[in-house]
A and B are shown apart, each in its own frame.
Chain A
Amino acid sequence: MGLSGIEIFKKLPKKNCKECGVPTCLAFAMQLAQGKAELSLCPYVTDEVAAELSEASAPPIRTVTIGVGDNALKIGGETVMFRHDKTFENPVGFAILISDSMSEGEVDDKIKQFNETSFERVGLNLRPDLLALKSEANDTNKYASLVKKVAEQTEGNIILISESKEMMEAGLNCCKEKKPLLYAVTSNGGSDIAGLAKENGCPLAVKGANLEETAQITERLVKEGFKDLVIDSGARNIKQLLEDQIKIRRAALKGKYRPLGFPTITFPNEMTNDSMKEAMYAAIMVAKYAGIIVLSGFDAPRIFPLLVQRLNIYTDPQRPMVMEQKIYELNTPSKNSPVIVTTNFSLTYFIVSGEVEGSKVPTWLCIMDTEGLSTLTAWSAGKFVPDLIAAYIKKIGIADKVEHRKIIIPGYLAQIKGELEDELNNEWEVIVGPREAGDLPTFLQRIA
């Protein structure tokens, strides 16, 4: 993204032929500069200019796709160091390691962990992404049957791990159509594996002994025409690994240093035998820049917090997560249970529902669509105001669910009580709730 739209425009044919799908060459140039169009759409650009522009207009960190179809995992493509500058683009992928030297039972257990790991949150399904299959038994049949089993029994994307061409080929033959990531080319080996990646159109991983060596290998591969690379700087202690991740992203974004402009793969599973510590390393990698994190297992107490952390870190900081507008039934409410109305900002929902559930008081929680704004902000933006709240109360049919006519509003909006009662034709009594969600349990226990 080194060039501006105008600079790119100067190099285009300026025919305004529209064959690229955009009305003018200038408009096309602008899209190229923003990374929204591909130069290959222009039929008239010379090879010379194409080479020049693709070098200058390529994003600083390559987006690499592992797998095919809707399930494919995209990693890389990041453009910032800090999430407050612009959303982190492609969430880090979690992989579970399975080796062909594991017992049948162990393999089945890992596959089961992969398939069964799934958590619902804010209308999203939190899932891991990959299975990293390692050849250790030095037996092509064994490796092939492991890969075959995984390809058949899971929908996950695959990483094949071996330095031997025979093994890699045996594995690849069982999952070619899944476009797996091949790991890895090193400074003194793996050129056969690079060949396999090229033949089969698969992304390729590079492993160096350190950053310098990693960069040397990618530079060589890029010259040979490889584009979809994933890099492992070789660090296997957390201090060095964190340092490398920061340096890789800095070099790519700030230094425009091409040889490190690729997503990374990290191996907390190889860094400790303590499963809790492994999860800590993973947590650091979720925050600081890994493209893939390979773990030894997906037992729920470890992977669940990590999946939620990933969701949190990769959330768009400009656009809050929202909850679906509806009545949430907490602690199995009845016709006499209290009714609370609040906004659909996901944080408001989580905090309020958490406190209500903790209070054990059965409650109807009416979540109103305020475009993800929190109560005070929504009120001042005119999205959580008496006439709209009244219309919502009438529409969602809470009146059919309870016998009483009392509705609790957030404490910070005490001033709208009278007006809201008017808007509700004085059929409902509006009760001002506490200001802080933390005071809800006491409040509910008092009124229930």
Chain B
Amino acid sequence: MSLNIPLEKYTGSIRETIIGGSNKAVKIGGESVLAFHKFEGNIPNKPLVALGVCDIKPTDWAEAAIEPFKDCLDNPTAWAKKCVEEYGADVVCIELLGTDPNGENKGPEEAAEVVKGISENINVPLIIYGSGKSEKDTAVLKKVAEACQGKNVLIGASKEDNYRSVGAACLGYKHSVIAETPIDVNLAKQLNILLNNLGLPMENIVIDPSTGALGYGIEYTYSVIERDRLAALTQSDEKMQVPIICNLGKDSWKTKESKISQEEMPSYGDVKKRGIMWEAVGAMSLFVAGANVVVMRHPEAAKLVKTVIEELL
């Protein structure tokens, strides 16, 4: 019997989305094969790790995730600069946790100021997430979109209940939009269609499938990403042919397994290394499934994952 390896029949490819306006703009997507299947087709743009920055000092992170930024947690601009200058981030993701109505409830203007401050001081592309509370995000993201005019950023998340206003803001100020749905291929497709109907080109839409951390539902995210990619690549589903982003870091560093000290749980081993591995193993799983961008928190975990991605391409 001669060696016979059946190839996958690909009938579609992922659209390319450009983030950023300067000469440091990045392209995501563009592949015509499943993740890292370079032996059977083209992967023009490498999957990206984005480093996360918050507008307020985070309260619920593990110590290890705070430590690299402890000198700049009160200053988002300095934090973002450190991500770029010291840790070589290709993309920075700002999370506007401070706008959460159940938390500090900061106003849209204040959030826009933070984003503007960062965007004027670093030259890598930006991704911006609101607090995830749809109603508040409607107001916040509109201001943010305005403040970033001309920077071609990626803004989210737009969801079923606020996609009109968030989508319109992205359209109006020429940004790309993150379309977030709860772990389901059909819902993702539906939201892409709705955003597209608003007038946003497919090239400006990126799917956020909802991300669970390792041990906290990552298998659901993993499988929905694989199904999303198969729909786009082998079933020619045009409305699914857009890149995928996963915001992993925020949940990974909240897990008990990343936080609990070795003194309290001797069998878990060194807490810092454990937290880094928890985030890195989670991110690697998402990239293997087909994510184009994963937002991470710890510079060491990010570096590790980036190195292995380079080796895979």
Q: Provide the bound-state CA to CA distance between A278 and B103, in Å.
A: 40
Q: Is the CB of A312 within 8 A of B219?
A: yes
Q: How far is the CB of B57 from chain A (nearest CB, A)?
A: 16
By a CB distance below 8 angstroms, the chain B residues around A300 are: 267-270, 274
CB 8 Å contact bits of B260-287 with A (1 = contact, 0 = none): 0000000111100110111011101100
CB 8 Å contact bits of B281-299 with A (1 = contact, 0 = none): 1101100110000000000
Asked, given contacts A82-B223, A439-B102, whether A350 binds B216 with beta carbons under 8 Å apart, the answer is yes
Q: Does B305 contact A (CB under 8 A)?
A: yes
Which of chain A's residues has its CB closest to B286's CB? A287
Query: Chain A: how many interface residues by the 8 Å CB criterion?
Result: 65
Give the residue among B102, B216, B257, B277 with the most A Cβ atoms within 10 A. B277
Q: Provide the bound-state CA to CA distance between A281 and B280, in Å.
A: 11
Q: Is the CB of B308 within 8 A of A257?
A: no
Q: Is the CB of A357 within 8 A of B274?
A: no
Q: Is the CB of A306 within 8 A of B281?
A: yes
Q: Provide the bound-state CA to CA distance between A147 and B257, in Å.
A: 35
Contacting chain A: which of B2-10, B150-158, B160-168, B172-180?
A: B2-10
Q: Is the CB of B5 within 8 A of A255?
A: yes
Interface of B is mostly: helix
Complex partner residue of B102 from A83, A254, A353, A434, CB under 8 angstroms? A434
Q: Is the CB of A354 within 8 A of B1?
A: no
Q: Provide the bound-state CA to CA distance between A121 and B257, in Å.
A: 11
Q: How far is the CB of A245 from chain B (nearest CB, A)?
A: 11
By a CB distance below 8 angstroms, the chain A residues around B285 are: 283, 286-287, 309, 312-313
Q: How far is the CB of B47 from chain A (nearest CB, A)?
A: 13
Question: Which residues of B (15-42) have their CB < 8 Å from a CB of A?
Answer: 36-39
CB 8 Å contact bits of A166-201 with B (1 = contact, 0 = none): 000000000000000000000000000000000000
Q: Is the CB of A313 within 8 A of B305?
A: no
Q: Is the CB of B269 within 8 A of A299?
A: yes
Q: Provide the bound-state CA to CA distance between A116 and B103, in Å.
A: 42
Q: Does B203 contact A (CB under 8 A)?
A: no
Q: How far is the CB of B117 from chain A (nearest CB, A)?
A: 26
Across chains A and B, the number of contacting residue pairs, with CB separation under 8 Å, is 169
Q: Is the CB of A239 within 8 A of B311?
A: yes
By a CB distance below 8 angstroms, the chain B residues around A311 are: 215
Q: Does B226 contact A (CB under 8 A)?
A: yes
Q: Is the CB of B60 within 8 A of A441?
A: yes
Q: Does A412 contact B (CB under 8 A)?
A: no
Q: Provide the bound-state CA to CA distance between A306 and B284, in Å.
A: 11
Q: Is the CB of A347 within 8 A of B304?
A: no
Q: Is the CB of B5 within 8 A of A247?
A: yes
Q: Is the CB of B223 within 8 A of A354?
A: no
Q: Is the CB of A347 within 8 A of B217?
A: yes
Q: Is the CB of A304 within 8 A of B269?
A: yes
Contacting chain B: which of A211-219, A336-344, A361-369, A397-405?
A: A211-219
Q: Is the CB of B6 within 8 A of A251?
A: yes
Q: Is the CB of A283 within 8 A of B284?
A: yes
Question: Which residues of A (314-328) have their CB < 8 Å from a CB of B?
Answer: 315, 317
Complex partner residue of A277 from B257, B269, B270, B308, CB under 8 angstroms? B308
Q: Does B239 contact A (CB under 8 A)?
A: no
Complex partner residue of B219 from A239, A250, A255, A313, CB under 8 angstroms? A313
By a CB distance below 8 angstroms, the chain A residues around B226 are: 82-84
Q: Does A288 contact B (CB under 8 A)?
A: yes
Q: Is the CB of B256 within 8 A of A351?
A: no
Q: Does B136 contact A (CB under 8 A)?
A: no
Q: Is the CB of A121 within 8 A of B215?
A: yes
Q: Which residues of B contact A (CB under 8 A)?
A: 1, 3-6, 8, 36-39, 60, 102-103, 132, 212, 214-220, 222-223, 226-227, 230, 254-257, 259, 267-270, 273-274, 276-278, 280-282, 284-285, 288-289, 304-305, 307-308, 311-313
- In the complex, 18 of the A-B residue pairs with CB atoms within 8 angstroms, ordered by the A residue number, are A82-B226, A84-B223, A219-B1, A238-B308, A255-B5, A277-B307, A279-B277, A280-B281, A287-B289, A288-B288, A299-B269, A300-B267, A300-B269, A308-B257, A312-B214, A351-B216, A354-B256, A443-B102
Q: Which residues of A contact B (CB under 8 A)?
A: 82-84, 116, 118-119, 121, 211-212, 215, 219, 237-239, 242-243, 246-247, 250-251, 254-255, 257-260, 276-277, 279-281, 283-284, 286-288, 299-302, 304-306, 308-309, 311-313, 315, 317, 347, 350-351, 353-355, 357-358, 434, 436, 438-439, 441-443
A-B pairs with the 8 shortest C-beta distances? A300-B269, A301-B273, A301-B274, A312-B219, A305-B281, A254-B6, A84-B223, A308-B215
